[in-house]
Structure 1
Amino acid sequence: MVIKNVTITDIGEVFKFYKIASEYQTAKKKVVVWPAFERAMVETEIAENRQFKLLINNEIACIWAIAFSDKQIWEERNKDTAVYIHRIATDPKFRGNNFVADIVTWAKEYVKQKKIQFIRLDTLGNNIKLIAHYKNAGFDFLGLFNLKNTDRLPDHYQLAPVCLFEINLFKD
């Protein structure tokens, strides 16, 4: 397993992963489905080295993006130093490998020298299995929250309360 930055030549694969994830969410019927994400947003993340890929035998198995600020979702908590993980998507033939745990291990190393206190992520709706999955990967579940302002967020953030998760790296 190797983790690298996504390059602009991978952008087709990134959108393929998003499409597969949306189709999977649609098939589950009781979860919020990702919208079509804007290409410019992904291009910016790639240019800023904030899109990552997990490779197995040189094949992309999983992708995700990060941010260092997420004010609309994390509101007053956004003042903390944090890395925010977004849009984890896995190739179906690699599902079940618990890549979230690998991403957490990677994130802990990634932020170590940056003096960042939190690793955070969010998901939408009361998806009990996903909540348990993130908790098993080491995240504390902070609860479900109704966001105050979603005007610049992707459309799916208007459909359900947001579940917030974090790992406090300065705890203990």
Structure 2
Amino acid sequence: MEPKIEMREALISEAGQIWEIIQQAIERRRQEGSSQWQNGYPNRNTIESDIAKHFGYVLTVDDEIAVYTALILNDEPAYSSIEGAWLSDGEFVVIHRVAVDEKFSGKGMVKFLFNKIEEFTRSQNIKSIKVDTNFDNLAMLRILESKGYSYCGEVMLAGGMRKAFEKIIF
């Protein structure tokens, strides 16, 4: 039987479990030799704030949390200044803080997540998704390429320069 995979808003009662998943991702990035997420961000307060602001989302597999992400509508101050050019200047959804539970690692969950984010974006009548990642986050760079995101340039976020991507969906 196919597993039931859904994306929904995260609940504040899930903050502890989500923080565990984020900590796994922080450790994975450290083991890969990345500087991303190695300076105390994101932290538990970041996650609780995401959820309180209705930015926090989870991808569940048979009701078990597999992936956490933050989806923010039209608000990423760092994106107003890009070395390069965005594909569009209308409304957009920003993807931040993608973290996969180790139990679901390597099972294509982030690709499922990106499909669900496209559905979510369409449901909001928004045509653009923007995302940034560290230059050394090879797994995310591969996913962005496979999902048809266009490299637009670089943006400065806390922690340094990030590669910025956009996808126009119709």
For the aligned pair, the TM-score class normalised by the smaller chain equals 0.7 to 0.9
Q: Is the aligned partner of 1:80 residue 2:83? A: no
2:108 aligns with: 98
Give the aligned length.
159
2:13 aligns with: 9
Structure-to-structure mapping, 1:78-157, within 5 angstroms? 79-143=89-153, 145=154, 147=156, 150=157, 153=158, 157=159
Kept in 2, the 8 Å contact 1:32–1:125? The answer is no
TM-score by structure 2 length?
0.81
Distance 1:133 1:166 in 2: 13
2:36 aligns with: 33
Unaligned runs of at least 5 residues, structure 1: none
- Secondary structure at the aligned position of 1:61 is classed as strand
1:42 aligns with: 47
Tell me which protein shows more strand as a share of its residues. 2
Question: What is the CA distance between 1:132 and its match in structure 2?
Answer: 2.1
Mean Cα displacement is larger for which, 125-134 or 19-28?
125-134
Distance 1:146 1:107 in 2: 22
Superposed CA RMSD in Å reads 2.2
- Secondary structure at the aligned position of 1:85 is classed as strand
2:77 aligns with: 71
1:168 aligns with: 168
- Secondary structure at the aligned position of 1:43 is classed as helix
Distance 1:169 1:162 in 2: 22
Q: Given the alignment, which residue of 48, 59, 62 partners 2:67?
A: 62
Tell me which protein shows more helix as a share of its residues. 1
Distance 1:63 1:97 in 2: 15
1:92 partner amino acid: E
Runs of 4+ off more than 4 Å: 76-79
Kept in 2, the 8 Å contact 1:85–1:120? The answer is yes
- Secondary structure at the aligned position of 2:81 is classed as helix
The sequence identity of aligned pairs, in percent, is 22
Deviations 1:25-74 (A, max 9, x none): 11111x22313334443223212321111111222111111112112135
Unaligned runs of at least 5 residues, structure 2: none
